[in-house]
Amino acid sequence: MTWMTAREALARLGSKPQTLYANVSRGRVRAKPDPADPRRSLYSAADVERLAERRGGRRSAGTVAAEAIRWGDPVLSSALSTIVAGRLFYRGRDAVALSATATLEEVAALLWQAEDLAWGPAEPPGAGDGPLAAAFAWLAGRAARDLPSLGRSPAVLQREAAGLLGGLGAALLGPAPPGPAPLGPAPLGPVAAPGRGGEPLHRRAALAWGRPGAEDAIRRALVLLADHELNASTFAVRVTVSTGASLSAGLLAGLAALSGPLHGGASEGVRALAEAAGRSGPQAAVRACLAEGRPLPAFGHRLYPEGDCRAAALLARFELPEVFAGLRRAAEAATGEPPNIDFALAALAAAHGLPPQAPLLLFALARAVGWLAHGLEQRASGELIRPRAHYVGPAVAPAA
């Protein structure tokens, strides 16, 4: 990302400093401290340029729409989550603060605006190719037979969402241990009481992987990953549910999008970089990656110019393995960018000896809460998402 000084940004915008600062506070222009002088700030050149073109009246409606799809302006309304001044909020509640005590189920109740949900998990059939394959197979089966979301009450859809989250948990983590257990007191207050049911998902994950000592770190990771505005997988969910398709079809679309290496699979790139650092040293691994023209995985985030608050909150809860600590130092020195949540997930898995797929599985399980929340919100809006394409193919002559 290219950055401008305040003087350069103001010259391009032709505005006063107060206007620039107001655009930063409203999230229109990203800013970060200047490494050469922490008293000053640097501003995203792309954001400044987009704002300057808007002020000059040179952007067509098509240009605005195209830029909105590529990390640009918001394209639809949502009351679920937002990022303001480097902090993530769920319905106005600070996600980092919630991660100190909340469970994923309690965050689900907050985002879905539902109370007294039954969290008893469905037990999907197993798949021989691993938990991710089991999740895809189970969701595909549900999507083929579930009722459309159109024309059904919010309360019915909320109960269905709880069953889907339980079933996905069973697919990703294996069957739940027998016997109900209370979820404990609700730290979120009356807005989101915990439901009824068995062991919370963070505990089930720790037990399934034989790492009870990782329970609290897993709980925090799940809460921090529950939702993140209109990311690629969430947009896929909203488009799917906007057609009236079932919530399970929306989850299937979200999981498919999440599986890509530029989204939920990014932690795998961190693991590969850590393995290279173990062989040749952190500095050599970072240098080799950058020398090949590849972006360094899991460092920097366009929505968090000053550092990913989710990563900082999670990394503070466990001691980094030496190879990850060295990698962090080398990467920050080379790029000037702090680690993001993908690095934190990979480091968490290494620190607690979790399975190699654990980062992706935790990501999918946590984000399913947000996907379902967006599916419920989209269904309530009653709108079909149907953007137009900007045609760049062979010229077409109009009919005579």
Q: Identify whether residues 56 and 101 lie together within a single domain.
A: no
What pLDDT, in 10s, does the model give residues 269-301?
999 999 999 999 999 999 999 998 888 889 989
Domain end call among 13, 41, 69: 69
Distance of alpha carbon 250 from alpha carbon 215, whole angstroms:
29
DSSP secondary structure of 161-188: HHHHHHHHHHHHH-SPPSS-------TT
Q: Assess contact for 183 and 105: CB atoms under 8 A.
A: yes
In 3D, which of 374, 99, 367, 390 has the Cα closest to residue 257? Answer: 367
Q: Assess contact for 222 and 113: CB atoms under 8 A.
A: no
Q: Identify whether residues 21 and 111 lie together within a single domain.
A: no
Q: What pLDDT score does 187 carry?
A: 47
- Report the share of the chain in percent with pLDDT over 70: 86
Task: Please check whether residue 400 lies inside any domain of the structure.
Answer: no
DSSP secondary structure of 6-32: HHHHHHHHT--HHHHHHHHHTTSS-EE
Distance of alpha carbon 303 from alpha carbon 313, whole angstroms:
16
Q: What angle do CA 132, 226, 247 make, to 5 degrees?
A: 65
Q: Assess contact for 157 and 247: CB atoms under 8 A.
A: yes
Tokens 């000896």 sit on residue: 353
Long-range contacts of 57-65 (CB under 8 A, 24+ apart): 62/390, 65/387, 65/388
Q: Identify whether residues 12 and 103 lie together within a single domain.
A: no
Q: Identify whether residues 185 and 41 lie together within a single domain.
A: no
Q: Identify whether residues 60 and 202 lie together within a single domain.
A: no
Q: Identify whether residues 29 and 107 lie together within a single domain.
A: no
Task: Please check whether residue 393 lies inside any domain of the structure.
Answer: no
Domain total of the chain:
2
Token output for 4: 């401008």
Q: Identify whether residues 360 and 231 lie together within a single domain.
A: yes
Distance of alpha carbon 258 from alpha carbon 363, whole angstroms:
8
Tokens 């302006």 sit on residue: 73
Q: Identify whether residues 50 and 171 lie together within a single domain.
A: no
Give me the sign of the Cα torsion angle 154, 155, 160, 164. positive
What pLDDT, in 10s, does the model give residues 195-221?
455 789 999 999 999 999 999 999 999
Distance of alpha carbon 305 from alpha carbon 28, whole angstroms:
13
- Report the share of the chain in percent with pLDDT over 90: 60
Q: What is the CATH number of the domain that holds 11?
A: 1.10.1660
Distance of alpha carbon 395 from alpha carbon 240, whole angstroms:
31
Distance of alpha carbon 278 from alpha carbon 383, whole angstroms:
51
Task: Please check whether residue 78 lies inside any domain of the structure.
Answer: no
Task: Please check whether residue 264 lies inside any domain of the structure.
Answer: yes
Domain end call among 42, 69, 96: 69
The dihedrals phi and psi of 244, each to the nearest 5 degrees, come to 95, 0
Neighbours of 179 (CB within 10 A): 7
Task: Please check whether residue 77 lies inside any domain of the structure.
Answer: no
Task: Please check whether residue 399 lies inside any domain of the structure.
Answer: no
Q: Assess contact for 217 and 318: CB atoms under 8 A.
A: yes
Q: Identify whether residues 231 and 257 lie together within a single domain.
A: yes
71 pLDDT more than 60? no
Give me the active site residues, please.
301, 342
pTM for the model stands at: 0.81
Q: Identify whether residues 329 and 295 lie together within a single domain.
A: yes
Task: Please check whether residue 175 lies inside any domain of the structure.
Answer: yes
Tokens 């680690």 sit on residue: 339
Domain end call among 12, 39, 69: 69
Q: What is the CATH number of the domain that holds 164?
A: 1.10.580.10
Domain that holds residue 54: 3-69
Q: Identify whether residues 298 and 378 lie together within a single domain.
A: yes
Task: Please check whether residue 363 lies inside any domain of the structure.
Answer: yes
Confidence of residue 400 (pLDDT cuts 50, 70, 90): low
Question: What percentage of the chain's residues is helix, strand, coil (to nearest 5)?
Answer: 55, 5, 40
Q: Identify whether residues 95 and 191 lie together within a single domain.
A: yes
Tokens 């650092």 sit on residue: 277
